[in-house]
Chain A
């Protein structure tokens, strides 16, 4: 507790970059949800904000507690404080985070279920959307027929952003990244029978459209909500109050 915090600003930003909005499948720092980062000799304080005061409390809690967890992994970070601003449950969530109370401990009797299932649902959706992007790009590039997609392996995909994203999503739900693995699989890694592939691809497409659209909407709302405020931009405001220099 008394040890002086010496991690760098970059370490903190890097850790924040790993925290995702589960529904939009995008890093919260890119979405503008990280309002400010303050470093001092005791540790780090991060303020989060969301597109509306009524963003779902379970998602808000997920993102805030993920932020806390990600920051605690940073070496020599000292004390970590995460605060959610301007939300209808800010008080509850902030008190719960400070006390490490967990989701049920924070919200009490209404929060009977754990958030695990919700998280899994969104990881699966993120996987479906990433899979669709890769398959569509591959079809466009090679002229492969829809009924041959089932044969496609990870090794067939050209390296790049889409493939990297797919591999990350696969890791997220525990699927292999072996080049011989089939691309078009269900959430459990099971192959889709060839005759069902076109239909499943169509559904994956609507998952992708839905996620992309929500991200547009949330970014737009966040910008509208914070127009004219000191921290209107997407990048967090970083304040370094350290009296001792960090190593490096």
Chain B
């Protein structure tokens, strides 16, 4: 919980990782390039006081994770969103066993989401059923740009993807987080293109599609589909730290999201350990749209901040929120309010 100016905020960090990128786990040069790329994001967008050393960044372990999130970071609940990256790391990038063990030790605090890959066909589908049972999955994280053999990725609307999504629906895995953002992408087919999410969201109305990194670098494409698909949500991973380096750009991102979507479909994420949540939460609560931009965007209200920082994700995951931290009007209710953008589309 975070407290400021007499207001209490329930915090859900909807996108965290426990990774191991140490040299002994790197399978090839791409493993090094990948973590170096993350480290550049970290160095480029973090305040000086929040910088980690490269060695700490390669691997930080569960104890430090618990401290950064829950002791120092105000987080009430966090959700693992692992990337496997088996083509780059011997034992995978996201550490399944270690992360899952933590969720067993701290069941009220952590949720483990797993990943699947439709290119594993029937064998992967059988594995998904076993994983769903073992991890009690409520969500998955999909990295469509993952390499496998000669393949540099897949699409959410590939026939096998649809079979996996059908299985998710059947098993009650309702939250489909999909990475659409910086770093690797499939060759030729453009992984930033959110069109495949659009199709899948229309065909699986019972599933929630959380587009991580809210489509950046294609914010506009994401907004356009999210306006029309009520089950598409925006994950703020990687968008959050702009609050420090480029606050005016951050104001534009959040302003656009509030305009095209609505306040019930935006989720806070630190993307830990890319960034630690503490400073992001503090700055977001203090954040306001700059004066001269108020002609374009409305001020962000305290209730909107409460929804974005935790209540929306809590609603998707059925996480208990203490009564004193809830709003008079429940968060995460789709259709409670139609986005301004959607209103105009519907009327035009």
Chain A interface (Cβ < 8 Å from any Cβ of B): 23, 51-54, 56-58, 88, 107-113, 118, 125, 195-196, 198-199, 202-203, 206-207, 209-210, 212-214, 216-217, 220-221, 223-225
Q: Closest approach, in angstroms, between the C-beta of A131 and any C-beta of chain B?
A: 14
Chain B interface (Cβ < 8 Å from any Cβ of A): 29-30, 33-34, 36-37, 40-41, 43-45, 150-152, 182-192, 216-220, 223-224, 242, 245-246, 249, 252-253, 256, 259-260, 341, 344-345, 348
A229 to B188, CA, bound (A): 32
Please, which residues of chain B bring their CB within 8 A of the CB of A221?
Answer: 40-41, 44
Report which of A111, A195, A206, A210 forms a contact with B348, defined as CB distance below 8 A: A195
Chain A residues, CB < 8 A from B43:
224
B220 cross-chain contacts in A, Cβ below 8 A? 125, 203, 206-207, 209-210
Are the C-beta atoms of B345 and A199 separated by less than 8 Å? yes
Q: Nearest CB to that of B249 among chain A residues?
A: A213
Least CB distance, B295 to chain A, in whole angstroms? 10
Shortest Cβ gap from A158 to chain B (Å): 22
A-B contact count (CB 8 A): 102
Closest residue of chain A to B340 (Cβ to Cβ) is: A202
* Contact (Cβ within 8 A) A58 B341: no
Q: Are A110 and B256 in contact (CB-based, < 8 A)?
A: no
Whether the Cβ atoms of B252 and A209 lie closer than 8 Å is yes
Known A107-B187, A209-B253, A216-B246; further 12 A-B contacts with Cβ < 8 A:
A52-B33, A52-B40, A52-B183, A53-B36, A54-B184, A107-B188, A112-B188, A113-B189, A206-B219, A207-B220, A209-B219, A210-B217
**B246 (CB) vs chain A CBs: closest residue:** A216
- Contacts of B33 on A, CB cut-off 8 Å? 52-54, 88
CA of A100 to CA of B186 in the docked complex: distance in angstroms? 23
Query: How distant is B185 from chain A, measured CB to nearest CB, in Å?
Result: 5
Please state if A53 and B37 are interface contacts (CB–CB under 8 Å): yes
Q: Is the CB of A203 within 8 A of B224?
A: yes
Shortest CB–CB separation between residue A195 and chain B, in angstroms?
Answer: 6
Q: A58-B190, A199-B344 are in contact. Are A110 and B150 (CB under 8 A)?
A: yes
Contact A198 to B188, CB < 8 A, known contacts A210-B220, A220-B245? no
How far, in angstroms, from A147 to B191 measured CA to CA in the complex? 37
- Residue from the list B44, B187, B260 in contact with A57, Cβ < 8 A: B187
A residues in contact with B253, CB < 8 Å: 209, 213
The residues of A that contact B37 with a CB separation of less than 8 Å are: 52-54
Residues of A within 8 A of B29 (CB): 88
Take A195-B348, A196-B348, A216-B246 as given contacts and tell me if A210 and B219 are in contact as well, using a CB distance cutoff of 8 Å: yes
Given A110-B152, A199-B345, A220-B245; A213-B36 close (CB under 8 Å): no
Q: Are A109 and B150 in contact (CB under 8 A)?
A: yes
A191 to B152, CA, bound (A): 40
Listed residue (B45, B151, B188, B192) with the most chain A CB atoms within 10 angstroms of its CB:
B188
Closest to A207 in B: B220
> How long is the Cα–Cα vector from A52 to B33 in the complex, in angstroms?
8
Q: In the complex, A113→B189 CA distance in Å?
A: 8
Q: Could you say which residues of chain A place their CB within 8 Å of the CB of B216?
A: 210, 213-214, 217
Contacts A23-B217, A110-B151, A110-B188 given; does A206 touch B36 at CB 8 Å: no
